[in-house]
């Protein structure tokens, strides 16, 4: 299947290459920077332009509500996983399985309902199949990270009901720089994780139309420090009760093990990480056309934290628990068992070809293809346990329309193929092949103060599990319509409506066995139907004087919502969870308001307030699992010519609206502070940030995490980072 896919995509890209040498340059769809009527970006959190990567569309931020993290904000939120980096944006949370594995969650949806992209092409890994699988993206080489919502998401996949996250890099150079040589460097250390990280990116203008790029990074952390006990109050009470019961029965050794597990404090064992990456790329520019290619390698090893109560060891530390119930089942509970870790390596190649078509109806053809060879190996000590392998290709070709008055847009084709193989004792998903092809369009219309955006996508998905003799074929059609009206200046109000269809994933269809990340025996359902939903979102967005507002309320009505639910049964001493379908409702709201408090010649003080809330309720009256609670965020930032002083308060409510077999999560408050120094004129050549996160060493647990009851968030953390550009 991969071979057939490669031939199909090559037939599209190779002609583009030939044309690229004769036609003028058009920037890649992954690198077009669009700010509409907004100001140029500044290196802070309050004055950045909105960047949008969808080709053929000039102002997607107007209707889609794109959020962007770049500059100082990206430096301050720097982390090893993209989910943790974005967690403070409105409506965004992190899965937080461990420091080595954390996916973004948008409006309560995670997994394959959120597409994670690298320059507009999927990551082509196994991170969506399980929360203990890292996202194969190195944030250290990111120029910026975008969160896409609304009609524009249909450009990237009908699976992305929650939205899409696009990590923008320069691995294929986006254009010819003014300077002959450019370098970006980033380094950082911290106290609570023992962080040492560094990254470098170099761009060289070989000739007037050839640009060469190379980058590399390294990141290492130890087991994380925490303010109190690793186990939550409820879990700790259960462990101590088990210890008392064992003691009464005369099992003194077992009682001591339970008691030791309950009293683990100060660190979370087996939460270390080590990651490095390297990449290179080259691009050729001719007029308004260009062609480029890049290659990169990503390698990470990280510990899989174990639930307290079962003896695993990490670097000689005391017993700290089972990796989870799945590891409990497959690896056993014998004393002295080795710790579980994951080693991941990924080779990737990307190709880009953009062709200028002149002044006709279509002004350019923009194509992008990515190939990936991904291997994820679970180790118990030095022994290989389960190996997950993914080989895949994804490509897209877009025809960008010339703008005609108030009308513009893009129409395209997207194709992907992925071969998945899992071998070993915990291969709970059988080998499978997934192939899809899609046609999509996104159109914009402007009529004075009124803006209209319409998107549609047809997608055919074929999923085959040959060892089971099962093949499913799904045809999905999704459409969305968004309208906005400029009330005054740059302040708009509008409404988005959508009808989406999502095909089940291979894991939802074919899972059968103990699942490491979720600590449960998972059973898929090969008879699952397409998940369908109607959605509506109302928003206000823009500026009222110097105050910037971005707020929305939304609701989605699902038919045949696919979810994982407990059955009340057990298999091999594990609770059985099955993929089921029933109708569901989701509703919520999110908002961000930034405003100046003091504006002087030498000093300014700005405020930033954010909040988000979402609920997902099933038709039988129960709640969907791992839905984040109400969260509020407030910040004040003082700015001088060379300094920025920022204070933040993050507040999370307790989550008591829980699913069957799910535990409640206590609320918490964290206070952070940072001081940024820009020693040179322009504020961009060098930025040094000293920060303290979680100043009061509060205990916090993410309700979205499978491991929340034994992996709390990091305690007080002193961090120093430096970013240089020259």
pLDDT of residue 380: 83
In degrees rounded to 5, what are phi and psi of residue 594?
-120, 140
CA distance 20 to 199: 32
- Cα separation, 127 vs 112, in Å, equals 9
Lookup: tokens for 668: 């918490």
Is the pLDDT at 311 greater than 70? The verdict is: no
- Give me the half-sphere count of Cα atoms (radius 13 Å) on the Cβ side of residue 571: 16
Q: What is the pLDDT of residue 148?
A: 87
Q: Other CB atoms closer than 10 Å to residue 91's CB: what's the count?
A: 29
> What confidence score (pLDDT) does residue 111 get?
86
What sections of 302-458 are H helices per DSSP? 325-331
Q: Are 709 and 303 in contact (CB under 8 A)?
A: no
Contact 258, 202 (CB under 8 A): no
Provide the mean pLDDT of the chain: 86
pLDDT digits (tens, 9 = 90+) for 248-291: 998 999 999 999 999 999 999 999 999 999 999 999 999 999 99
Give me the residue spans of the domains in the chain: 2-230+268-304+339-725
pLDDT in tens, 134-149: 999 999 999 999 998 8
pLDDT score, position 65? 66
11 has a pLDDT exceeding 80? no
Closest to 320 measured CA to CA, from 272, 274, 273, 263: 263
pLDDT at residue 337, as a whole number: 57
Q: How far apart are CA 688 and CA 721, in angstroms?
A: 6
Fold of 2-230+268-304+339-725: Maltoporin; Chain A (2.40.170)
pLDDT at residue 336 tops 80: no
Please state the rounded mean pLDDT for residues 619-647: 96
């Amino acid at each position: 299947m991969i071979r057939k896919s490669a031939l199909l995509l090559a037939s599209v890209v190779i002609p583009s290459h030939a044309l690229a040498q004769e036609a003028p340059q058009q920037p890649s769809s992954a690198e077009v920077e669009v700010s509409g009527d907004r100001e140029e970006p500044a290196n802070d959190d309050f004055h950045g332009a909105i960047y949008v990567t969808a080709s053929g569309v000039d102002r997607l931020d107007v209707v889609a509500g794109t959020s962007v993290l770049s500059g100082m904000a990206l430096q301050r939120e720097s982390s090893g996983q993209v989910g943790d980096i974005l967690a403070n944006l409105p409506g965004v949370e992190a899965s937080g399985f461990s420091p080595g594995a954390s996916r973004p969650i948008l409006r309560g949806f995670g997994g394959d309902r959120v597409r994670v992209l690298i320059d507009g092409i999927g990551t082509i890994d196994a991170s969506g199949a399980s929360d203990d699988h890292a996202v194969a993206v190195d944030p250290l080489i990111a120029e910026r990270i975008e969160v896409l919502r609304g009609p524009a998401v249909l450009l990237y996949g009908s699976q992305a009901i929650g939205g899409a996250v696009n990590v923008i890099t320069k691995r294929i150079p986006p254009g010819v720089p003014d300077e002959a040589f450019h370098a970006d460097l980033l380094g950082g250390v911290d106290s609570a994780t023992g962080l040492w990280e560094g990254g470098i990116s170099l761009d060289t203008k070989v000739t007037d139309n050839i640009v060469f790029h190379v980058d590399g990074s390294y990141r290492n952390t130890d087991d994380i420090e925490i303010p109190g006990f690793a186990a939550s109050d409820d879990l700790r009470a259960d462990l101590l009760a088990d210890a008392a019961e064992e003691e009464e029965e005369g099992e003194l050794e077992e009682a001591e093990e339970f008691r030791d597990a309950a009293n683990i404090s100060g660190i979370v064992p087996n939460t270390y990480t080590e990651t490095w990456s390297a990449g290179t790329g080259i691009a050729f520019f001719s007029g308004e056309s260009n062609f480029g290619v890049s290659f990169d390698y990503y390698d990470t090893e990280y510990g899989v934290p174990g639930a307290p109560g079962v003896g695993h060891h990490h670097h000689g530390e005391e017993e700290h628990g089972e990796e989870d119930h799945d590891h409990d089942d497959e690896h056993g509970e014998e004393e002295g068992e080795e710790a579980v870790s994951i080693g991941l390596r990924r080779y990737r190649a990307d190709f880009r070809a953009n062709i200028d078509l002149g002044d006709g109806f279509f002004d350019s053809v923009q194509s992008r293809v990515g190939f990936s060879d991904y291997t994820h190996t679970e180790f118990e000590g030095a022994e290989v346990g389960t190996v997950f392998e993914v080989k895949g290709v994804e490509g897209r070709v877009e025809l960008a329309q010339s703008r005609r008055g108030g009308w513009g847009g893009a129409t395209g084709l997207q194709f992907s193929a992925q071969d998945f193989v899992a071998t070993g004792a915990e291969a709970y998903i059988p080998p499978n092949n997934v192939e899809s092809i899609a046609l999509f369009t996104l159109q914009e219309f402007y009529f004075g103060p009124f803006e209209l955006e319409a998107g549609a996508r047809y997608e055919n998905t074929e999923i085959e599990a040959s060892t089971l003799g099962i093949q499913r074929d799904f045809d999905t059609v999704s459409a969305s319509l968004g309208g906005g009206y400029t009330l005054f200046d740059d302040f708009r109000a509008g409404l988005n409506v959508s009808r989406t269809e999502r095909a089940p994933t291979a894991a939802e269809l074919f899972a059968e066995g103990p699942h490491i990340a979720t600590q449960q025996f998972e059973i898929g359902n090969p008879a699952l139907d397409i998940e369908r939903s109607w959605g509506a979102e109302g928003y206000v967005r823009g500026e009222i004087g110097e105050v910037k507002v971005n707020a929305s309320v939304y609701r989605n009505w699902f038919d045949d919502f696919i979810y994982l639910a407990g059955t009340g049964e057990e298999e091999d001493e594990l609770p059985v969870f099955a993929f089921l379908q029933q109708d569901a409702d989701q509703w919520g709201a999110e908002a961000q308001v930034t405003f100046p408090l003091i504006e002087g010649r030498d000093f300014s003080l700005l405020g930033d307030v954010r909040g988000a809330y979402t609920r997902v309720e099933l038709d039988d009256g129960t709640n969907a699992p791992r839905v984040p609670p109400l969260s509020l965020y407030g910040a004040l930032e003082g700015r001088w010519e060379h300094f920025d002083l920022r204070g933040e308060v993050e507040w999370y409510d307790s989550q008591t609206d829980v699913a069957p077999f799910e535990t409640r999560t206590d609320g918490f408050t964290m206070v952070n502070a940072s001081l940024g120094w820009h020693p040179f004129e322009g504020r961009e050549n060098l930025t040094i940030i000293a920060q303290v996160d979680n100043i009061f060493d509060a205990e916090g647990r993410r309700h979205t995490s499978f491991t929340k009851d034994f992996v709390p968030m990091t305690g007080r953390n002193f961090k120093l980072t430096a970013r240089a550009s020259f």
